[in-house]
Structure 1
Amino acid sequence: MSMTDLLYARAQMGLSLAFHIVFAAAGVALPVLMVLSDWKARRTGDADYVALSHKLAKGTAILFAVGAVSGTVLSFELGLLWPEFMGRYGEVIGLPFSLEGVAFFTEAIFLGIYLYGRERVSPGLHLFSGIMVAVSGAASAFFVTLVNVFMNDPSGFVATPDGPTQVQPLVAMFSPGWQYQTAHVLLSCYQASAFAMAGIHAFVLLRHPGAAFHRKALSVALPLACVTALLQPLVGDLSAKHVAKAQPVKLAAMESHFETERGAPLRLGGVTVPKALSILAFGDPDAEVRGLNEFPRDTWPPVAKVHAAFQVMVATGSAMALLSLVTLVYRWRKKAWPSGRKMMWAWLVAGPLGLVALEAGWLVTEWGRQPWIVRGVMRTADAVTPVPHLAAPFWTFTLVYLLLGAVVVALLKRQVAGTMPDRDEGPVTGRGVKEDDAHVH
């Protein structure tokens, strides 16, 4: 196996994950937004909320289908590109993979009931099926994330030269730090999808300020976006504290911290905050933070990449949290969600930030674990397939993903275009809202 083939194998897996994670996130979050709009429709009888629940259901179906395809590709790639990993550790970490399969099929069944049973089953069963789609989607992401937790902090077995022994599947499934990483991932799914939805409807409202449908859609997206954006830094802090203790070399790469020191400063965008890294990592301003130079050079992750991805994640997360705080203060003071052009521009610009943060966070996790596929036990270079010429499948799947991505964008654009008003829906006040519907609570 040449180094070039190893890089192609890693690139193909990385590309597949980067593509799939967008649809996986939407598959987790859109059902929640779908159920919220459905519940509002049933409570108010408002035709706009009924239409919104229909649109979100169609969007969920489209993204679920593409997510199923890309997820299946990932399953095959695990076995074909990394046979040593699956051969040795499949029995250790097979349980969450199996449970993810159960969650996936459960989600598919209830999504079918929700999509095709709207007029055929009782309203209560229909709403329950939507809730089950949301629960199953979250469960699917939860179980897959547990596999990643294991790869970063393996447990539940005894390592020997011949492979793992004394396997404890439940211990392996709930490896140390599982609660932080799973919460971090699930929140990122809800946050990214809610911000994207808010950005889309803010864009329409900038062009058509009196569009009641889009203001109501924004009132569904904004609560989820704001709550998750404010919770995420808190969960992220807990996750980082665990990384500091369990994976100090990853923390050092994230912070580009080379020398071990007490009272370590935090460096963000060229600004140095004294002792802040020690406080954030250990809750103690005088705590010792180990630097990269304390670890063997061949165990370092790609420092520049990890550090850059971490900076992007923190910057975008902070921006979303700040906007969410401002939005909630406005909601509390005005008893209505923002509708002015400045706030709509802010939400339009912030719309993609959730996905950017999501991708950057996964890069931190994956790059930060290198050169290990199972940290401290199996190196990535030892797990890759011996089959040569891996450039061919890489470029083939790249073209497939580009085609799938273009199809999805076209379909979703068509869904949004179907709700674009031909004209503003009524007299508009100076703030850009109808006089008879000035507030969406």
Structure 2
Amino acid sequence: MDDFIAARSQMALSLGFHIIFSCIGMIMPFFMAVAHYKWLKTGNIVYRNVTRAWSRGVAIFFATGAVSGTVLSFELGLLWPEFMRHAGPIFGMPFSLEGTAFFIEAIALGFYLYGWNRFNRWFHWFTGVVVGISGLASGILVVAANAWMNSPAGFDYINGQYLNIDPIAAMFNDAWFSEALHMILAALTATGFAVAGVHALMILKKKNVLFHTKAFRIAAVFACAGAILQPVSGDISAKDVARRQPEKLAAMEAHFITEAKAPLIIGGIPDVKNETVKYALKVPGALSFLAHGDFNTPVTGLDAFPKDTHPPVAVTHYAFQIMVGLGTLMLLIALFYFFMLWRRKKWLERNWLLRLFAIATPAGFIAVEAGWTVTEVGRQPWIIYGIMRTKDAVTPMPGIIYSFYIFTAVYCSLSIIVILLLYRQVKMVGKLYDVAE
């Protein structure tokens, strides 16, 4: 492994861990706020206990997200100094605003955690809502910075110089809305299914059934709402990518040859050398329709671009298939769950439904990781799309491979600690709260 691959691997590792913490940090406060609201309106002590249990989880993920996010910000400068030298003044605004949102989130979380029986009860609830809103704002701002890398704007690139910088135009680039919408819904779906799955498992084990049932129902509604809305944002994103980054779309679909009535490829093994896909199911004209809203419109293939600008097709295609496949699975579960809420409420207490959610616990986060693989690998070989190649941005400092090994050990250790803390939290629910069933 050379230093370039080591730098990319370390960045991928850091982002892969941080994105899980940040997704939960963005969404869990809203679960907490809903449970808190239900307690304030109904006086049901079970909702108070759910709220307090979830607030402890929010605190854990806030701390780990802060640590991993700080590491990422340092890595941008240490591993990619040439990128930050030029890009920092252009897309620095969303990072600065994200820092402000982070501080607001930290203050609000402090108020919330230590405000029990100290503040007016509605003001206390409001501080929890602020935690969620500021966390969501942080996520949107970071995604806006990433979107700029896929759709650079807010400057003129003349003779190798970055001139006439407009930070506002850079932040609100052409990709920010579609990426932010897709990311928010992905975080909602992934966190919802993970939380619902954990509580479903505890119900199946007959542990504090009333507590976990209340928690499961809140998380399941959020998860299923996100899963149903996600295909809409996916369609918006696909059309946007087709317009701005046609080679990324071609890699996602392993679409080698430009053609009208382009087929949608489901599954398959890309053969880059022979420019074909083996063992795939092809739906004629569907890719043209999804990309352009018309079955006959040609879809640009990889043959339209120089080979040295092609993204890694196999990785991008497989990741895209995993994302879509798991998204479809969660969509089917969501439709079925809402059907039961509407017409078959007796089924909501069946063990097979709980097992279904328990099995789907990791599905959302696997889909999130796959989706970010599509976003980042599909942009290669560019770090700033169409302007700066990734290999030209890497640090000349030697020995990056050792840094990669160290960070791998640190993140693995951090993950084990978080899992143990969460496991202890779930196991101690009955001891922490006197839940009368």
Q: Same fold (TM over 0.5)?
A: yes
SS in structure 2 at match of 1:289: coil
Quick check: 1:409 aligned with 2:419?
Answer: yes
Distance 2:283 2:359 in 1: 28
SS in structure 1 at match of 2:254: coil
Distance 2:207 2:399 in 1: 55
Maintained 8 Å contact 1:192/1:358: yes
Maintained 8 Å contact 1:204/1:420: no
1:206-235: CA deviations, max 9, x gaps? 221881111111111111011000000111
Amino acid in the other structure paired with 2:387: V
1:382 aligns to what?
A: 392
Amino acid in the other structure paired with 1:66: T
TM-score, normalised to structure 1's length? 0.94
| Match of residue 429, structure 2, among 419, 429, 432 | 419
1:262 aligns to what?
A: 260
List aligned pairs for 1:298-337, cutoff 5 A: 298-335=308-345
1:131-189: CA deviations, max 9, x gaps? 00000000000000001110001011111334310111111111102211101011111
| Match of residue 305, structure 2, among 295, 307, 315 | 295
Amino acid in the other structure paired with 2:241: V
1:57 aligns to what?
A: 55
Q: CA deviation at 1:347?
A: 0.6
| Match of residue 147, structure 1, among 129, 133, 145 | 145
Distance 2:368 2:163 in 1: 35
Question: Structure 1 pair 158/337, CA: closer, same or farther in 2 (3 Å)?
Answer: farther
List aligned pairs for 1:270-285, cutoff 5 A: 270-285=280-295
Q: CA deviation at 1:336?
A: 6.6
Amino acid in the other structure paired with 1:103: A
SS in structure 2 at match of 1:268: strand
Distance 1:22 1:206 in 2: 26
List aligned pairs for 1:211-222, cutoff 5 A: 211-222=209-220
Amino acid in the other structure paired with 1:352: P
Distance 2:167 2:109 in 1: 30
Q: CA deviation at 1:125?
A: 1.0
Distance 1:205 1:309 in 2: 33
SS in structure 2 at match of 1:398: helix
Amino acid in the other structure paired with 1:22: I
Quick check: 1:17 aligned with 2:7?
Answer: no
Distance 2:97 2:88 in 1: 14
Question: Structure 1 pair 99/36, CA: closer, same or farther in 2 (3 Å)?
Answer: same
1:160 aligns to what?
A: 158
Amino acid in the other structure paired with 2:86: R
Distance 1:131 1:358 in 2: 24
Amino acid in the other structure paired with 1:273: V
2:241 aligns to what?
A: 243
2:120 aligns to what?
A: 122
Distance 1:294 1:177 in 2: 22
Distance 1:277 1:420 in 2: 52
1:429 aligns to what?
A: none
Amino acid in the other structure paired with 1:347: F
Distance 2:346 2:24 in 1: 27
The number of equivalent residue pairs is 422
Maintained 8 Å contact 2:148/2:175: no
Q: Which moved more, 1:37-46 or 1:58-67?
A: 37-46
Report sequence identity in percent.
48
Amino acid in the other structure paired with 1:19: F
Quick check: 1:394 aligned with 2:404?
Answer: yes
1:335-362: CA deviations, max 9, x gaps? 5771211111111111111101111000
2:275 aligns to what?
A: none
Q: Which moved more, 1:339-348 or 1:91-100?
A: 339-348
Amino acid in the other structure paired with 1:158: D
SS in structure 2 at match of 1:63: helix
Q: CA deviation at 1:205?
A: 1.4
SS in structure 2 at match of 1:262: coil
Maintained 8 Å contact 1:259/1:291: yes
Maintained 8 Å contact 2:197/2:359: yes
Distance 1:40 1:124 in 2: 12
Quick check: 1:370 aligned with 2:380?
Answer: yes
Amino acid in the other structure paired with 1:41: W
Maintained 8 Å contact 1:28/1:134: yes
Maintained 8 Å contact 1:252/1:291: yes
| Match of residue 204, structure 2, among 203, 206, 210 | 206
Maintained 8 Å contact 1:20/1:71: yes
Amino acid in the other structure paired with 1:329: F
Amino acid in the other structure paired with 2:41: R
Quick check: 1:42 aligned with 2:32?
Answer: no
Question: Structure 1 pair 334/252, CA: closer, same or farther in 2 (3 Å)?
Answer: same
After superposing on structure 2, the runs of 4+ consecutive aligned residues of structure 1 that deviate more than 2 Å are: 160-163, 334-337
Cα-Cα RMSD: 1.5
Distance 2:59 2:286 in 1: 45
Question: Structure 1 pair 54/38, CA: closer, same or farther in 2 (3 Å)?
Answer: same
Q: CA deviation at 1:43?
A: 1.3
TM-score, normalised to structure 2's length? 0.94
Quick check: 1:4 aligned with 2:14?
Answer: no
| Match of residue 229, structure 2, among 216, 228, 231 | 231
Distance 2:346 2:61 in 1: 31
2:271 aligns to what?
A: none
Maintained 8 Å contact 2:112/2:124: yes
Amino acid in the other structure paired with 1:12: Q
Distance 1:261 1:360 in 2: 27
Q: Which moved more, 1:255-264 or 1:157-166?
A: 157-166
Quick check: 1:92 aligned with 2:102?
Answer: no
Distance 1:160 1:339 in 2: 64
Question: Structure 1 pair 322/420, CA: closer, same or farther in 2 (3 Å)?
Answer: farther
Maintained 8 Å contact 1:327/1:337: no
